[in-house]
Chains A and B, each alone.
Chain A
Amino acid sequence: MNKATPIVLLVVVLIVAGGSFAWFLSVPGGGISYQQGSYNSTQVIVLYANAQGWNYNSSNPNPTLNEKLHTLLEFKVIEQDGLPHTLTIAAGPNETTNSNDWIVNVVIPTTVGSITWVNWSFANPGLYTYWCTVHPYTMVGKLYVNGTANSTSSSPSPSAVQAPSSGLLTSIIQHQNSGTYEMADSNEQVW
Chain B
Amino acid sequence: MGFSFELMVFGSTIAALIAMVFLLYYFTMDYRRNLLGESASSLSKEESNLLLSKMRREISFSAFFMDDSKSIGVRYLITSIVLFFIGGLAGVGMRISLWFPNPSFLTPDQYNILLTAHGNIMLYGFAIGTILGFGYYLLPSANKIEKDTLGVVKSIMYWLFLIGAVFIIFSKSTATWYFYYPLVDQLTEAGGGTYSFATLIGVTLILLATTVSSVIFLKMVFLDRSKSIPLSKISMFSWSIVSAAVLVITSAPVSMIANGFLIYDLINPVFFQASNGAVLGYAIMFWFWGHPLVYIAILPAFGLIYEMLPKYAGVPIFSYRAGVFSLLLLMIFSAVVWGHHLFNSGLGTVWDLLFSTTSFLVVIPSAMSVFNWIATLWTAKHIRLTVPMLFVLNGIVDFIIGGIVGVYSADVGLNAFIHGTYAITSHFHWIFIGLTAGIGFGAIYILFPTLTGGRTYNVPLAKVHFYLNSVGTILMSGFWLVGGFAGMPRRVAGYFGIFQTYQDVAAIGGVILGIGFLIFLVNFAYSAYLPAKVDVTNPLEDEVQAI
Chain A residues in contact with chain B, CB under 8 A?
A: 1-3, 5-10, 12-14, 16-18, 20-21, 23-25, 27-32, 100, 105, 133
B133 to chain A, nearest CB (A): 14
B264 to chain A, nearest CB (A): 24
Segment touching A, from B100-108, B323-331, B332-340, B392-400: B100-108
User: Inside 8 A of A18's CB, which chain B residues have their CB?
Assistant: 89
Across the A-B interface, give the 6 residue pairs with the lowest CB-CB distance, nearest first: A1-B453, A6-B528, A10-B525, A17-B85, A6-B525, A100-B190
In angstroms, Cα B32 to Cα A180, docked, is: 79
In angstroms, Cα B103 to Cα A171, docked, is: 37
In angstroms, Cα B59 to Cα A83, docked, is: 55
In angstroms, Cα B93 to Cα A52, docked, is: 41
In angstroms, Cα B170 to Cα A7, docked, is: 26
In angstroms, Cα B528 to Cα A7, docked, is: 9
In angstroms, Cα B302 to Cα A5, docked, is: 31
Q: Is B524 an interface residue (CB 8 A)?
A: yes
- A28 touching B455, Cβ below 8 Å: no
Who on chain B is nearest to A106 by CB? B108
B52 to chain A, nearest CB (A): 16
Q: Is B60 an interface residue (CB 8 A)?
A: yes
Supposing A17-B89, A20-B86 touch, asked if A25 and B525 sit within 8 A by C-beta, the answer is: no
- A13 touching B81, Cβ below 8 Å: yes
Who on chain A is nearest to B522 by CB? A10
- A24 touching B110, Cβ below 8 Å: yes
- Write 27 A-B pairs (CB below 8 A) sorted by A numbering: A1-B452, A1-B455, A2-B60, A3-B529, A5-B60, A6-B452, A9-B78, A9-B524, A13-B85, A13-B521, A16-B82, A16-B85, A20-B89, A20-B90, A20-B117, A21-B90, A24-B93, A24-B113, A27-B109, A27-B110, A27-B172, A27-B191, A28-B190, A29-B109, A29-B191, A30-B107, A31-B110
In angstroms, Cα B493 to Cα A32, docked, is: 12
Q: Is B114 an interface residue (CB 8 A)?
A: yes
User: Inside 8 A of A8's CB, which chain B residues have their CB?
Assistant: 61
- B82 touching A17, Cβ below 8 Å: yes
Q: Is B58 an interface residue (CB 8 A)?
A: yes
From B82, B453, B527, give the contact of A12 (CB < 8 A).
B82
- B191 touching A28, Cβ below 8 Å: yes
From B105, B172, B190, B524, give the contact of A6 (CB < 8 A).
B524
- B169 touching A20, Cβ below 8 Å: yes
Q: Is B192 an interface residue (CB 8 A)?
A: yes
Supposing A5-B61, A5-B528, A6-B524 touch, asked if A17 and B86 sit within 8 A by C-beta, the answer is: yes
In angstroms, Cα B82 to Cα A44, docked, is: 50
User: Inside 8 A of B190's CB, which chain A residues have their CB?
Assistant: 27-29, 100, 133
- A23 touching B61, Cβ below 8 Å: no
In angstroms, Cα B89 to Cα A117, docked, is: 33
User: Inside 8 A of A23's CB, which chain B residues have their CB?
Assistant: 169-170, 172
Chain B 236-261: CB-based contact to A (< 8 A → 1; otherwise 0): 00000000000000000000000000
In angstroms, Cα B122 to Cα A17, docked, is: 13
A41 to chain B, nearest CB (A): 22
Who on chain A is nearest to B88 by CB? A17
Chain B 166-204: CB-based contact to A (< 8 A → 1; otherwise 0): 000110100000000000000011111000000000000
Among A5, A16, A18: residue with most chain B CB under 10 A: A5
Supposing A17-B85, A21-B90, A23-B172 touch, asked if A9 and B109 sit within 8 A by C-beta, the answer is: no
